[in-house]
């Protein structure tokens, strides 16, 4: 069994800590370890470092290699450019096929948080057995705790079977990010999960599905497959990759496939997708305040707020539901509940060509 850690993206909603050169997964946001280090540690009870592949971009490769010394260098796959998750997963599947044909691959985002790692291992282990026996596409669904428009949703169909005590369901449909009213309907129906972005399948199975639903992408992947390990790899792969369609595996394959299964992930999952999400999973004082990381903060008559300030002393007086993030060159002050819009600040910085803050 192999793990594929997708370590791309910019983490714009974690500005000003997250920057182009150092996105969210390379930061120590949740603990003293970086998020990607925690991701690797979490999967190691099931999969040894020799079988863990990390797909990343050129900008982040050096920092990632430094952070993950236990991962062999030839397991760091550098994408010539970002082309969304379908191309990323397809490229990783080719590398796995070169090593062990028909092997199971567990695809994980690099930047999520899991509270119960033992349960996580149990669910992933059961999902791998489903993928092996049924030649299916297996995903992990999270029971919604609120109405969210930032997640995709998985609609559960009939129960299929139990494996290792974990119930496996067929998937009726996969829906991309809905508007608020539609998301509310999903929650009320009771048979929808949040899409965690975790996938388990055979490398051969996902390549077969890509060939069925994304034939142009598959054709490009086959050209890359021929070039891997050849003297011309460094020339051919970037040239072909540039022409690949940029599409998510959800849109491109999962929404169309008819052999999809879901297991429920009751292991304290968070995508840590914003400063609000960090507040949700963090230890709070009696008034709901969070000190994110190290630093000195005085909370006086203050409730429900989050502060990150490793350099300066910060004193909050008579404040409620604020997010304050201080770095060497920037200060973010945001009303709690609005941190999804921090990415608009990044858009504004790009528009104003203020590259030093990106």
- The rounded average pLDDT for each run of 10 residues, N- to C-terminus, in the chain (358 residues) is 91 87 90 94 96 94 94 95 94 95 94 94 97 94 88 92 94 90 90 95 97 97 94 93 94 94 95 90 94 92 95 94 94 92 92 91
* Cα-trace Rg, the chain: 21
Domain boundary among 223, 248, 270: 270
Q: Are 262 and 282 contained in the same domain?
A: no
Q: H-helix or E-strand containing 290?
A: strand 290-291
Q: Are 260 and 282 contained in the same domain?
A: no
CA–CA dist 287, 240 (Å, integer) = 55
Neighbours of 147 (CB within 10 A): 15
Provide the β-strand partners of residue 51.
none
Q: Are 147 and 55 contained in the same domain?
A: yes
Query: What sign results for the dihedral spanned by CA atoms 29, 31, 33, 38?
Result: negative
Tell me what pLDDT residue 315 has: 95
Q: H-helix or E-strand containing 341?
A: none
Q: Are 26 and 58 contained in the same domain?
A: yes
Spatial contact of 199 and 257, defined as CB atoms under 8 Å apart: no
Listed residue (64, 83, 75) closest to 7, CA to CA:
64
Spatial contact of 2 and 53, defined as CB atoms under 8 Å apart: yes
Helix, strand, coil abundance in the chain, percent, nearest 5: 40, 25, 35
Domain boundary among 216, 238, 270: 270
Q: What are phi and psi of 304, to 5 degrees?
A: 55, 35
Q: Are 44 and 177 contained in the same domain?
A: yes
Q: Are 211 and 259 contained in the same domain?
A: yes
Domain boundary among 224, 242, 270: 270
Provide the β-strand partners of residue 269.
114
**Terminal CA-CA length for the chain:** 38
At CA 124, angle to CA 119 and CA 129, rounded to 5? 130
Q: Are 112 and 255 contained in the same domain?
A: yes
Spatial contact of 173 and 73, defined as CB atoms under 8 Å apart: no
Tell me what pLDDT residue 75 has: 97
State which residues form the domain around 307: 275-357
Look at phi and psi of residue 348 and say left if phi exceeds 0, alpha if psi is from -120 to 50, else beta: alpha
Q: Are 187 and 332 contained in the same domain?
A: no
Residues with Cβ < 8 Å from 276, sequence gap 6 or more?
A: 323, 336, 337, 339, 340
**Cβ burial 231-248 (10 Å sphere, 16+ → b, else e):** eeeeebbeebbeebeebb
Q: Are 205 and 136 contained in the same domain?
A: yes
Q: Are 156 and 258 contained in the same domain?
A: yes
Q: Are 190 and 208 contained in the same domain?
A: yes
Name the domain count of the chain: 2
Q: Are 266 and 301 contained in the same domain?
A: no
CATH number of the domain that 61 lies in? 3.90.550.10
């Amino acid at each position: 069994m192999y793990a594929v850690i997708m370590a791309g993206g910019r983490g714009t909603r974690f500005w000003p800590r997250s920057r182009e050169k150092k996105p969210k997964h390379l930061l120590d946001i949740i603990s003293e370890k970086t998020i990607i280090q925690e991701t690797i540690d979490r999967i190691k009870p099931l999969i040894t470092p020799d079988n863990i592949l990390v797909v990343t971009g050129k900008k982040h490769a050096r920092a990632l290699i430094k952070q993950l010394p236990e991962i062999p260098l030839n397991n760091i796959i550098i994408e010539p450019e970002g082309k969304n998750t379908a191309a990323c997963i397809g490229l990783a599947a080719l590398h796995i096929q070169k090593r062990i044909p028909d092997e199971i691959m567990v695809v994980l985002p690099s930047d999520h948080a899991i509270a119960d790692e033992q349960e996580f291992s149990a669910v992933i282990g059961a999902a791998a057995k489903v993928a092996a026996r049924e030649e299916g596409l297996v995903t992990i669904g999270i029971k919604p705790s609120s109405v969210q428009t930032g997640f995709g949703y998985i609609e559960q169909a009939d129960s299929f079977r139990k494996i290792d005590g974990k119930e496996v369901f067929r998937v009726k449909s996969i829906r991309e990010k809905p508007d608020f009213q539609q998301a509310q309907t999903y929650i009320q129906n009771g048979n929808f999960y949040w899409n965690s972005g975790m996938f388990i399948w055979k490398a051969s199975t996902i390549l077969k599905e890509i060939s069925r639903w994304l034939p142009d992408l598959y054709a490009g992947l086959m050209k890359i497959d021929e070039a891997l390990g050849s003297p011309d790899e460094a020339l051919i792969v970037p040239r072909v990759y540039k022409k690949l369609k940029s599409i998510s595996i959800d849109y491109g394959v999962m929404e169309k496939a008819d052999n999809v299964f879901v297991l429920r992930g009751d292991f304290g999952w968070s995508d840590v997708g914003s400063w609000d999400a960090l507040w949700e999973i963090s230890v709070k004082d009696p008034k709901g305040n969070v000190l994110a990381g190290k630093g000195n903060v005085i909370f006086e008559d203050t409730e429900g707020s989050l502060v990150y300030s490793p350099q300066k002393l910060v004193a909050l007086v008579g404040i409620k539901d604020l997010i304050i993030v201080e770095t060497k060159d920037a200060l973010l002050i945001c009303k709690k509940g609005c941190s999804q819009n921090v990415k608009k600040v990044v858009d504004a910085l790009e528009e104003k060509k203020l590259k030093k803050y990106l």
